[in-house]
Structure formats: structure tokens, C-alpha cells
Structure 1
Amino acid sequence: MSFNWSATFTIGQPAETSKGDKIILPQAALESIIHAHASAPLLPLQPDPNYDPTSWAQPQFNPYEPIKPQELPSPLTFQIRNPANRLLTHGGVKEFSAADGQVHLPPWMMTSLALTPGDQVMVKYAALPKGTWAKFRPLSADYMEILDFRALLEARLRSNYTTLTRGEVLKVHQGTKEFGFVVEELKPEPGEAVCITDTDLEVDIEPLDTEMGDATTQSASGILDGQGSRRGGNNQHNVLKIGFESQGRVSPEAYQRWTVDIPNRKSGIEITVHVQEPGDLDMIVSTKLPISLQDHLWANFESVGPRVIIIPAGDRDYATQQDSQVIHIAVYGREPTTVAASGSSSSTAFSSAGEAIYSIQVHYQDNEEHSSEPPSGSSSLSAAADIPNKNAPGYQECTNCGSWIPERTMMLHSNFCHRNNAKCNKCGLVMKKEDLLNHFHCDHCDKHGDVSEKKKHMEIFHGWYQCSCESFESPSLPELAKHRRTTCSERFIICRYCHTLVQQGGPASNARDRMRGLHSHESYCGDRTIQCQKCSQMVSLKDVQVHAQNHEYQRQSQATPQLCSNQNCVRSKGATSNVLGLCQLCFGPYWVPTEDPKNQKLVQRLARKYHAQLMTGCGNKWCRSQYCATSRGRQMDATSAATEMMSILKEARVGAADGHKTWLCVDEGTTRKKVMAELLLEDVRGQYTIEWCVKALEAERTDLEAAAQWLQLQAPKVKKAAA
């Protein structure tokens, strides 16, 4: 049933919380919609002209059955039109909570219709067809950065949109970057607008022209220069090659970023930066973007000597990176300080251009050689080498510097050492007396060194940092970086359920999801349900794996079908058993109404049957029994047949509980089924038993390909014996 409803409203403030096409209408609009729907005339129904009230056949329309009133359509879809310029779009309704006479539209919709607060807009109910296919055209070539654009578009539409209108711009986000797509085509025809709720919408992308894509890429990323760096744009990404040294310059409080391709993750890497004095910089490394002082995996914050970061092959973050082979390196420039003789520090320029000049190199590292090196680049004092001449005869230890000096020169050395050298009482480090004035020890940790390093050390390791998520504070910059790559709600992850790059959110609200390692987004996203193809139950995405394991357990726990003990027969043994374990057709010739408690007469009849098969055969050209003269192509004499008959008669195990094995000739149809079962068993490479192959052929009516698929879905696999 269709109805008409339209009204004109004044634009209120934009609905900032609406991320899709849903509008907010007043309560009075809902009441008028219900009234319009209730008062709409019913469409005349055409009865079946062949309707016969005396017939058992069901008619298309029974004129004697009362017509039931239909419910309000769900979802409600509307056409939103700007009467001033006749621009229009479509959308759903979020809620009926606006003030009387007002409507709240999403900001993008107001921009698309050229509306501002206070303007008039017409809202009209529009019954839209269910969409089946949509083609989108990207607005720029950087859409190729999206990991899975179909999944991203489907997730965006599913969670925020009710309708799609041809020509409107759909904006989606991956991480912190926004991408625009124009709705190019829609189906079904005429394709001006469709409803996408409760429907399987197929999404397609129309690629950009090559010239347009190249122009967009150059304008966004800059042009590569001869050194492999990109000029233009704010974030420069220089390219490093394994084993080659490159030169760089970085300004204070600025980053210079490098990327290096590491295809061989079986070997660790060593990253080394040599800084020209008096420059100072930090080196940070990560497997993913963005990379900064607050977002990194490995770092070196030293102020003296080369900055070295060794990442062993066994490092979890390094070895398990799957989405890319690229390692990102950032060099952050700092203002250097030099120490005067009096101990006061003063700022010094980097170079004439105010930049720190450095060289950077990455090369593979032997795993065994550096297996004990720390993965972070923070320096650690190695074990001191053996002191020369320690406890050697004729040598004596200096009480000031700790060196072992020949006894005959100890007086000269001692006078010189006490006059020029001094020993730190805290760390025991021996240095010149003038250098002792510039020597410092941190009051919060074991760090010690030149006083010029104190300011930087206190800032990085003993400052105060608050994460932008406002739920974490730390005095240490490395601890903040660890928080941002692990538990931070703003950390970007690839959702395992919608396969899009999203913020993981806070911890899950229930303990079960927390034990699964889920955060709020995946906990919410995983609550969506799909229908199981085997049992037709609705299962949440989070429980799909466990549900599938239950089906797998049930499949593996099935009892093997019991076939006839006749090795040439493939029929089921059936519920009723006999002393030979034969099916009813194979046992028929051996059944007699007379009493035979010890099965002596049954054995005699079976022996006569075997003897006749070996001597003369069954005469059927299709026979494949290995104990039949027709199948063998030769007949045996009575004595030889009797000798061989006794050996196969024992395998019948007449009267035993199980283990029967008989060799009787069968009809042509049964022989053909046996051959097909053996062919299927060979095709599946023995993963299933012959009994299940027979059952699969029966279920699929001897279709080999369909039977093989049936085995994969229904039959338990053969369990491999433990070694």
C-alpha cells in the first residue's frame, strides 16, 4: 500500500551527531505520517479469474478473505528538496525529536542542497526500491591507499545510510584520512535513488583515468627527485636501500622520514645514524604509519655517538608484520647544546641553514651475532673488558683510576693520576678533573653522562605526557608510545569483522570479549549476525569460529555407515543383521526356514557357492570378483577350487560378531556403483573411507563432482595414525 505525505520545514542547526543520511523530524511529523498512512485508500485487488470455491487449489486472491490493514513501512525513506534551487537528495529518519516546524539535516546534506539554518526545505515520503548494485567513482587517485575499499564502503553504508541517490558524494574515512566517492550508477532501474536497508548491495568502483590519476598522485605526493625522495607536500618520505648509505638534513623540531623495503624477515636489521657535531637528533622506527615521538615501536634518544637500533629477526612486531614489507624510519631534529669549561650550557646552531647533518644506513644483521642485543635502541653499558695485567706478578693497582701499573713506576703514575684525574663516587667512572664538573647523575634512574644530556633525558624519560585519548598519563615518552600502540582507544586497527581501518576504542564491556582480546569497536561489530549455511541458525560474527568447530566436531563424531560384508557389494547392511553380515539381497539365497543352530548348513551352502564361482564362474561379463572364474578368465578344477575355497571360507567368520568378509558375485548395477566408489576414493586421495564415498554417491545420485563436494561438507576425514 502506498500513501502520500509531504511537509515544509525550517532548517535548524546541523545534526552534527549524524554521520549518514538520517534526518531529525518533529513529533508532529510522525503523527501526520501515521494519519496519512491510515487514511490512504487500499489498492484494488484483482481476483483470480479461474477461482473455483469448490477446488482444492489455492487461488491468487480469495475474495471471501477479509483484507488486513498494512503496517507503517520500515524504514521510512524521504525525498529532501530545496525549493529555491530544486536540488534534491534522499535520506532516512533518525528520530522524531526536533522542535515543531523544524528539521535537522546532516552537514553534508545541507552543503549538497545549498541550505543554511533558517531556510525552507520540503520533505516528502518516497517509497524507494531495494538497491541491488551501486557503482562509485573516486574523486582522487589516493583511494588506492584504502586497504579494502569495498569493505570500507559497505561498512560505511551499513552503519550510517538508509538510501543512496545518484550523483551525491559519499565520504568515508580510513584512519585520519578522508576519501570521497560519487554515486555514479544504481540498480534497479531507473536508478535515481534506492533503499539499501536489509538488502545485499553489490558495490563496484569505476577506476580513474590514467592521466587524472597521475596528476592527482603528483600533486598529492610530490615528484621523486634523483635521490629517491619526494619533493612537495608536508610529509617527505625518502627511500633507503639495504646496504647503501644515504645523507640527510633535518631542522630542529621537525621530522625527516625514510622508508626501507625489508623482504627478508628471516634476518634482523641494524639501523645506524651518524650525526655531525654539534647536531643532535632522535631516531624512531615503526612498521606502520603514522610515526612520531608518540607513535613508534623502537627508538634511540641518545645525544652522544652514533644512533643505533638493532631489530633481531625474532622480534614479534618485526617478524609478524603481514600487511607490508616496509619499515618506516623518522629522524627528529633537536637543538644541540655544548658545555663550556665553567659548566654552563649554551645553544649551538646545527649548520649555516640551522639543520642537523647526518648519514643513515640499514643493513641485514646476523641473528647469532646480535641475538643478545636489545631491540630498542636505548644504550646499555656492555660488560667491561678484562683489565690488562690484573693480578699479574710485578703489577700494582692504582687506588685512583684502578689501572694495574708496574710497581717500579707506581709512584710516578700515582702522582700524575691524582693531579689530573678524578673518580666519580657514584658510578666509579674515571675522568679528567675538569670533566667531572660536567658529569651528572639522574636522580630518578641510573642514567649518567655529560650534563649537556641532562635536559633532553629529563624531558624524554621524566617529563609529563598525556595521551590524546585522555585516559593515560606517563612521565616517560617511550611508555606513552607503548600505550598508543597497544591499549590506546585511538589506536587504529583492521577490524577482524568489517575489515576496515578503525579506532579500536576502549576495552570491551564484557569479560568474555576482553578474554578474546576485543576492544569496544570489535565487540560491537562482532555482535552482527549471519545465517549458518549448514543449520540455518543466526550466529554472531564473534561466535562463527566456535559454531563452525561444533559442526566440525559433529561431523567427525559421526558413525561410519555399515556396508554389506560382501566385498563386491556397496549396499548398506541395514538394521537387521545376520550371521554373515550381508545385506538382505546378498543374504537372500542363503536363508532357509529350517533350524540351523550351529550354522553348519549355512556354511555348506556358502562353500558350494564359492566352489561353483571358482570352477565355472557366474557368466556375467561385468563381474569383477577376484574369486570368480568369469572375472579371472579361467576355470579351475574341482580339487584346486576346493583348496582355494577353504581359505576364503575362513574369512566369512560365520556366527562371529564382526569381521565378516565374503566374496560373492553381484548384479551389474551394484558393480557399477562399486567402481564409481573406488574412483571417488582415488579422487579424494583416501581422505575418506569407502563407506562414506558410497554414501556420498547415493546422496548425489552418482555425480562424482557433487559427491566430492558432499564429502568435504558432510563426511568425517580419516584420522591419521600418530607417529
Structure 2
Amino acid sequence: MTLSILSFENSLSISADAAQNAIVESCHETVGNEGTATNMVETIQHRTRSLVNPANGRTIYAGVREFSAEDDHLVLSSFLTTALGLHDHKSEEPIPITVHAKQLQKGTYVKLRPLEAGYDPADWKALLEQHLRTNYTTLTNGEVLTVAAGRSSVQGQGEYKFLVDGFKPEADGICVVDTDLEVDIEALNEEQARETLKRIAEKLRTAPGTTSGSSPSGALDVFKSQQGQVLPGEYVDYELGAWDKTQAIVLEVETADDQFVDMFVSPLSSTQRARPRLGEHVFAELDDRPRKRVRLEPTNAALDNAEALYISVHAYASKASSADATPVQYTISAKHLNEETADKAQETEQHGDDEVRCGNCGQWVPKGRLVLHENFCLRNNILCPHGCGQVFQKRSPEYEAHWHCQYDTSFGNTTLGLAKHNDVFHPGQVLRCDVCTTQETFSSYTALAQHHTTNCPAKLILCRFCHLEVAQEGDPDVPSAEVLLSGMTQHELLDGARTTECHMCSKIVRLRDMDTHLKSHDLDRLSRPPPQPCRNSNCGRTLDTASRAGDTRAGTRIGQGPGNNIGLCNVCFGPLYVSMHDPENKALRRRIERRYLQQLVSGCGKAWCKNEYCKTGRTHLGLSSPTTTKDALPMIKTLVDSSILPSSGVALHFCVDESSQKRRTLAEMIAAEDGGVTGKSGYSFEWCLAALEAENGDLDAARQWLKYWAPTRREGR
């Protein structure tokens, strides 16, 4: 097995203080601004130290985490205090600790010997890589390496302990930063090896999928229930990947009357990534009943952005459980609430007018037999005096095993259920989170589970910026105001401090501020003044010139506005411009008339022209053309009279260049999409024209411009 250890944040703190006067500090390593990653690794190697306790001769190698202690002090981690034997010191006198600078070689091989039999995790490589990266810069020959096993057991996090027994290259210590480390795990002795093999064989006999073991994990379907079995102390995991998120979903697990299992549920989302367990779940059903139900409403905030539902079925294992325990059979299903309501309606019992209900057992009996029934019932049956409503036969084993918790409202009918309730809700010891530094204590596993799924720094999240599953980090006891106000985790706040370029405006923005920045763009999009198309029906320009940055008044802002009051763009108005004083637009009217006559009589001669008021365009459109000025004047009289009145709403018809005419045609095509003018989505014609003008006729780029800068018809209404 080869481990890749490429982390810079995995060194230990050191101190020369005595056990009674030791300064215990939790910190992260800072290597400083050493330049390249190679320089940083070399710096870490040079900062390794050898610590010697002269009182007992113990030696340990360590690395420097950070330079934050007071002058003349070295801060010592709890691991190093134990390794140097400082906790065994009874005197109040301080112990001198000798610190030597010692450059260690990078290790390539290490041999580990388990201190207990039966170690068999699913993935040694991932477990050791994560632990060494997080906690160690060096390894010392002969030291005890303690590795956390996880939070899957009822008792909390377990531990694996190993004796470090040899390195390559041969030395008393090695550096484990930025190296590939080959690991051999060998038994401490033959007896331990035999015991380990025995336990592994037993584990294989009861492996998931075997007749004696738990059912394998799998997917759950809304339309189909599944049969399964689970061994005491184990979990069977299911995943519900698809359901109608507009309806309530009911998850149900049912067992035989004399057996029961527990059900844990957690949504799979960016803020919840772990499989549900006793000490880490969002929803749970732990009552002492053969049928367990968890109902999730679509309005539940925990289901926001949930990709799937993780469901785990667990059978409680008491301390007296034997290794040969039989698996518990169960049926698991998921259904929507409307189906459940229909089932309940079918199960509703109908009672006649001649029936009355017994006050002791609650059964419905005929009125004529009520006295006889009550005499028998009161003599043989008893109603639970604690108010749970259950009826038992007097002196029956069920009544003897019936219990009510003295601390809460829970109750059940089995001694195993009582033991489980006390272990889960009223454990004999105070619970603490063993994966973070919180000072908070927890009175039950449900309270611990809430901590693990809310503010625990070790809770796994899917970072919205680096898109990796990482710990959320932060201070669980005093969360920062920035975390509370932003809705981000501490990791996301730090990772979101990186900057990137806005794809819309090219500004440099921090990743965590990008959503707010884009919302400001969206507000600008909705409040931006609409573009004004050129009055020429063949022109593909706007009066104020649209820019790629979404400005619909870009030309006017730099002094290149239309410069006329008849609604034509600068290009279309250019041939009509003269420098003479013409307050009544009489000369302009003559120039417009002359332009129309020239188009109709002589034509523009352009191969792309489709102007119906041009001889060339009419020929391309298959229309007849007037041959003389006398024939053309009646056609243009109305157009000429209204041309100098912008408020008339009458379009002008002048020939334009090919690119402008093409943009106009494409704009009409885009505007006709999604129902056209009467549609509820899509974009109006003036915005389509501005988009094509800004992107120089590029159709794909124009559609992107509309998405960024233009309001839809629905938003504009």
C-alpha cells in the first residue's frame, strides 16, 4: 500500500514546558512566503526538530506548526506531551526539554504493527492518508500512532493504535511531507495474527449480501417496497434519488411485532454529504415500535436543493448481544402522502349506532353486551396508568416489560427498547464531539447528531467555489458574524476570497461576491432604457448605438447621437444632411422627396436590395416599378408629407448597406420566436436589433447579449 502525502498543514506543535506548566495551543501551520512549493517543502524539512526528555531519555521528532507563541516559549501538543512522558511527572518543578535542529530525510517505507487484533477497515489507504496529512510532519520509530476510525458506531468514534516499527531509509525518524510512503501492516505476534484472521473470517461470513449478514446497500424506489435484513450494530444504506418534490414523502420501515429497527434520514445536498448514522443524522425514528415512519414535507428547509435522500436502517446492539446474533428482517418503502391518505381511508372502521366503546380496552361492542364485556375486561385487562393508551393482559410478560421513561415522554414494550432508549437519550457519560474543539457537551446522541449536521467544523460540505467535498471549518462555539450573515461556511468564506473576472463586464470580483455582483447586473438589465430603432424600415441600427457592454445609449454618451429630429440614425440621415438653416424642414422635405424619386425611377443597383420603394428592390421582390417621375409621385406623396413628423409613426424606406439590412432581417426573426409579439417570453424587436448591432450581426453572440442585458417580454410588461 502506497500513500501520497502532499500537504503543508500537517506538522505538530512543540514546547519546552513542563506538564504542569505546558502551554497547549491549537493552531495551523504557516510556512511563510517562501516562494515555490519546492521551497516550502524544503523549509519544512529544515524546521524539523528532535525533542529529548533528559529525565526519562525519551526522544520524539516533530515539525513546527507556526511561529505564534510568546518569546522564549515553545508550544507543545498533547501528542508530544504523552510521547515525552510529561504527564507522568509528579513534581511541581519544570522539566528541561532539549530541542535540537534535525533535518530528516523523506520517508519511502514504514512498517506498522497493530496493538490490538481485528483491525479491518474498508480502506486503509484513505484512512491513513487523511490522518497523516492532517496531523503529522514526522514519524518516529517506536512511537504509537493513533488513527481515528470514524463516527459509525453507537459508542462514538473508535481508534486504531499502531506501533511504528521501521523505516526506509533506515533512521530513527522520517519526514512524511510531500512523499509517497509505502506502508506494511504486520501483526505484532502470531497469536494476534490468528485472532485477526479469525475476526476477518467471521466478518466475511456475515458480510453484506450473505444469508447471515446484512442486506447490501442499494437504491430505493417510490413505487416499490423492498425486503431486507440487518445485523445488530450494523447499518443498511439506501438512496432515494427521485421523488415528486412538490408532495410530502413518507418513508416507512416495518418489522415483526417482537423486533424493531431504527431509521435515520439525511438529505444529500451541498451542505449535507455524510450517510446518516446514530451520531450524525437530520431525521430519525427511534421509538420502540415495529413500524417506523418519517414524513417529510416539501416545505421543509432541510430539503432545499436536496439531490437525493440517504436512508439508513440500523438494528440496535445491546452490550449483552452475542457475536452470533441473527439479522432482523424488515420491509422498507417510500410513498407520497396522497397514497398514504388513500390507504388510511380504506382502513377506517365503520361503527353502527348500536355499538359503544369500552372505557377500559377501547374496543367497540354491542350495547347489550357492554356490561358482560366490561366485567370480563376489568378482571383480565389493564389500561396503562401512565396515559399511553395501551391495554395489556394482567400478569402478562408484555405488561411486565412495558416501560415509561422517567425523564421524558418515551415508552415501549421491551427491555431491549428500554436499554436502547437509555443508551441513546440518557447515556451514562457526558458526550463530546471528538472531531472538533468545541467545549459544548451533549446529553444524548440526538443532540450530538444535531451538532454534527449543523455547526461542527468537521461536517463535510460540497464547496460552491472549489467544488470539492471538504470540512466546513469555523469555530463551533463562537461562529463569526461573517459566517452568520453571509450564509456561507468558514471554508467557503476563505476559498471565496479568490478573485475572478466577471464574464459580463470583465471586472475583477471575489468569488463569494459574484452572486451579488450578478444580481446588480440583473437589476440594471430590468431598469435599462430600451433601445430606439432607426425609423428606416430597412436599417439594422439604433439611434443611440448599443454597445457590447449592454449600454443602449453608448453613442449618445460619447457625443455621437442621431443629430436629427426625424428618427433616423446617423448613417441613414447622412445623405439628407446640409448645413443651411432650415427651421421649417422645407429643404429636408425636398431632399427626402428627391431621394424617393431617385430610388423608384433609377434604383440603387445593389444586388441585396429588398426595398419596396426602390426600383432595384421591387425587381428582386417581383413587383412592377414606375418608369417616370409622374408615376412615382403618387406613391411617395403620403410618405414625404409624414417624413418630417416623427410622431406620425410612418416608417421611412431608404436603401441601406447589406450588413444593416441583414441585421434587420435577423432581428425580426429572433423577435418572432417564442410566440412573437403575443408570446409571454422571448424579446421585443428593439432589443433584438440592439443585440445584433452590438455584436456586428453575429447571431449566437446576439442571443447571448440578449440573455445578459435585455429584459424578456414578460419582464418588460
Aligned to 2:379: 419
Q: Is the 8 A contact 2:28 2:66 kept in 1?
A: no
Secondary structure of the 2:337 match is coil
Secondary structure of the 1:332 match is coil
Q: Is the 8 A contact 2:600 2:625 kept in 1?
A: yes
In the alignment, the residues of structure 1 paired with residue 659 and residue 539 of structure 2 have an alpha-carbon distance, to the nearest angstrom, of 10
Number of positions where the alignment pairs a residue of Structure 1 with one of Structure 2:
541
Aligned to 1:367: 337
Task: Determine whether 1:229 maps to 2:229.
Answer: no
Task: Determine whether 1:711 maps to 2:705.
Answer: yes
Q: 1:485 Cα deviation (Å)?
A: 1.4
Task: Determine whether 1:661 maps to 2:651.
Answer: yes
Secondary structure of the 1:630 match is helix
Q: Give the counterpart letter for 1:238 in structure 2.
A: P
Q: Is the 8 A contact 2:691 2:705 kept in 1?
A: yes
In the alignment, the residues of structure 1 paired with residue 125 and residue 409 of structure 2 have an alpha-carbon distance, to the nearest angstrom, of 48
Name which of 613, 632, 645 aligns with 1:641: 632
**Does the C-alpha gap of structure 1 residues 706 and 456 become closer, same or farther in structure 2, counting only changes over 3 Å?**
closer
Task: Determine whether 1:284 maps to 2:264.
Answer: yes
**Does the C-alpha gap of structure 1 residues 79 and 422 become closer, same or farther in structure 2, counting only changes over 3 Å?**
closer
Q: 1:18 Cα deviation (Å)?
A: 7.6
Aligned to 1:580: 566
In the alignment, the residues of structure 1 paired with residue 598 and residue 358 of structure 2 have an alpha-carbon distance, to the nearest angstrom, of 111
**Does the C-alpha gap of structure 1 residues 466 and 546 become closer, same or farther in structure 2, counting only changes over 3 Å?**
same
In the alignment, the residues of structure 1 paired with residue 669 and residue 501 of structure 2 have an alpha-carbon distance, to the nearest angstrom, of 34
Q: Is the 8 A contact 1:439 1:449 kept in 2?
A: yes
Task: Determine whether 1:257 maps to 2:263.
Answer: no
In the alignment, the residues of structure 1 paired with residue 639 and residue 367 of structure 2 have an alpha-carbon distance, to the nearest angstrom, of 102
Secondary structure of the 1:635 match is coil
1:106-117 aligned at under 5 Å gives the runs none
Aligned to 1:308: 292
Q: Is the 8 A contact 1:295 1:481 kept in 2?
A: yes
Name which of 502, 517, 535 aligns with 1:547: 517
Name which of 247, 252, 255 aligns with 2:229: 247
Q: Give the counterpart letter for 1:543 in structure 2.
A: D
Aligned to 1:613: 599
Q: Is the 8 A contact 1:270 1:362 kept in 2?
A: yes
Secondary structure of the 1:361 match is strand
Aligned to 2:662: 675
Q: 1:546 Cα deviation (Å)?
A: 0.9
Aligned to 1:492: 460
In the alignment, the residues of structure 2 paired with residue 321 and residue 650 of structure 1 have an alpha-carbon distance, to the nearest angstrom, of 62
Cα distance per residue 1:445-490 (max 9 Å; x no partner) = 4444547354543443455753415454454433432332123343
In the alignment, the residues of structure 2 paired with residue 547 and residue 174 of structure 1 have an alpha-carbon distance, to the nearest angstrom, of 43
Aligned to 1:47: none
Q: Give the counterpart letter for 2:639 in structure 1.
A: I
In the alignment, the residues of structure 2 paired with residue 411 and residue 589 of structure 1 have an alpha-carbon distance, to the nearest angstrom, of 112
Aligned to 2:421: 457
In the alignment, the residues of structure 1 paired with residue 693 and residue 425 of structure 2 have an alpha-carbon distance, to the nearest angstrom, of 73
Secondary structure of the 2:395 match is helix
Q: Is the 8 A contact 2:540 2:693 kept in 1?
A: no
In the alignment, the residues of structure 2 paired with residue 560 and residue 370 of structure 1 have an alpha-carbon distance, to the nearest angstrom, of 53
Query: RMSD across aligned C-alpha pairs, in angstroms?
Result: 5.9
Q: Give the counterpart letter for 1:297 in structure 2.
A: V
Secondary structure of the 2:625 match is coil
Cα distance per residue 1:271-303 (max 9 Å; x no partner) = 4242585x6654434455354321123333333
In the alignment, the residues of structure 1 paired with residue 507 and residue 336 of structure 2 have an alpha-carbon distance, to the nearest angstrom, of 53
**Does the C-alpha gap of structure 1 residues 356 and 465 become closer, same or farther in structure 2, counting only changes over 3 Å?**
farther
Aligned to 1:111: none
**Does the C-alpha gap of structure 1 residues 21 and 310 become closer, same or farther in structure 2, counting only changes over 3 Å?**
closer
Secondary structure of the 1:22 match is coil
In the alignment, the residues of structure 2 paired with residue 587 and residue 396 of structure 1 have an alpha-carbon distance, to the nearest angstrom, of 97
In the alignment, the residues of structure 2 paired with residue 274 and residue 710 of structure 1 have an alpha-carbon distance, to the nearest angstrom, of 57
1:87-236 aligned at under 5 Å gives the runs 95=67, 121=102, 229=208
Aligned to 2:31: 22
Q: Is the 8 A contact 1:625 1:664 kept in 2?
A: yes
1:473-622 aligned at under 5 Å gives the runs 473-500=441-468, 501-506=470-475, 510-532=480-502, 538-554=508-524, 557-559=527-529, 562=532, 564-570=534-540, 573=543, 574-575=560-561, 577-583=563-569, 586-587=572-573, 590=576, 597-600=583-586, 602-622=588-608
Task: Determine whether 1:331 maps to 2:320.
Answer: no
**Does the C-alpha gap of structure 1 residues 458 and 622 become closer, same or farther in structure 2, counting only changes over 3 Å?**
closer
Secondary structure of the 2:255 match is strand
Stretches of structure 2 that go unaligned for 5 or more consecutive residues are 1-12, 17-23, 47-62, 80-96, 105-121, 138-147, 152-156, 158-177, 181-196, 268-272, 544-559, 674-681
In the alignment, the residues of structure 1 paired with residue 219 and residue 700 of structure 2 have an alpha-carbon distance, to the nearest angstrom, of 52
Q: TM-score, normalised by structure 1?
A: 0.57
In the alignment, the residues of structure 2 paired with residue 103 and residue 324 of structure 1 have an alpha-carbon distance, to the nearest angstrom, of 45
Q: 1:422 Cα deviation (Å)?
A: 3.5
In the alignment, the residues of structure 2 paired with residue 323 and residue 473 of structure 1 have an alpha-carbon distance, to the nearest angstrom, of 32
Stretches of structure 1 that go unaligned for 5 or more consecutive residues are 1-10, 25-71, 83-90, 108-115, 124-140, 162-172, 178-195, 197-205, 207-218, 336-348, 374-380
In the alignment, the residues of structure 2 paired with residue 333 and residue 369 of structure 1 have an alpha-carbon distance, to the nearest angstrom, of 34
Secondary structure of the 1:434 match is coil
Aligned to 1:35: none
Cα distance per residue 1:37-58 (max 9 Å; x no partner) = xxxxxxxxxxxxxxxxxxxxxx
**Does the C-alpha gap of structure 1 residues 96 and 327 become closer, same or farther in structure 2, counting only changes over 3 Å?**
closer
1:378-389 aligned at under 5 Å gives the runs 388=351
Aligned to 1:34: none
Q: Is the 8 A contact 2:274 2:460 kept in 1?
A: no
Q: Give the counterpart letter for 1:272 in structure 2.
A: V
Q: Is the 8 A contact 2:532 2:686 kept in 1?
A: yes
Q: 1:645 Cα deviation (Å)?
A: 1.9
In the alignment, the residues of structure 1 paired with residue 261 and residue 693 of structure 2 have an alpha-carbon distance, to the nearest angstrom, of 75
In the alignment, the residues of structure 2 paired with residue 98 and residue 409 of structure 1 have an alpha-carbon distance, to the nearest angstrom, of 89
Q: Give the counterpart letter for 2:424 in structure 1.
A: I
Q: Is the 8 A contact 1:300 1:308 kept in 2?
A: yes
Q: Is the 8 A contact 2:265 2:309 kept in 1?
A: no
**Does the C-alpha gap of structure 1 residues 224 and 354 become closer, same or farther in structure 2, counting only changes over 3 Å?**
closer
In the alignment, the residues of structure 2 paired with residue 366 and residue 714 of structure 1 have an alpha-carbon distance, to the nearest angstrom, of 40
Q: 1:720 Cα deviation (Å)?
A: 3.6
Q: Is the 8 A contact 1:284 1:331 kept in 2?
A: no
**Does the C-alpha gap of structure 1 residues 610 and 699 become closer, same or farther in structure 2, counting only changes over 3 Å?**
closer
**Does the C-alpha gap of structure 1 residues 695 and 433 become closer, same or farther in structure 2, counting only changes over 3 Å?**
closer
Task: Among all aligned residue pairs of Structure 1 and Structure 2, give the percentage whose two residues are the same amino acid.
Answer: 25
Aligned to 2:108: none
Q: Give the counterpart letter for 2:317 in structure 1.
A: G
In the alignment, the residues of structure 1 paired with residue 378 and residue 368 of structure 2 have an alpha-carbon distance, to the nearest angstrom, of 18
Q: Is the 8 A contact 1:78 1:92 kept in 2?
A: no
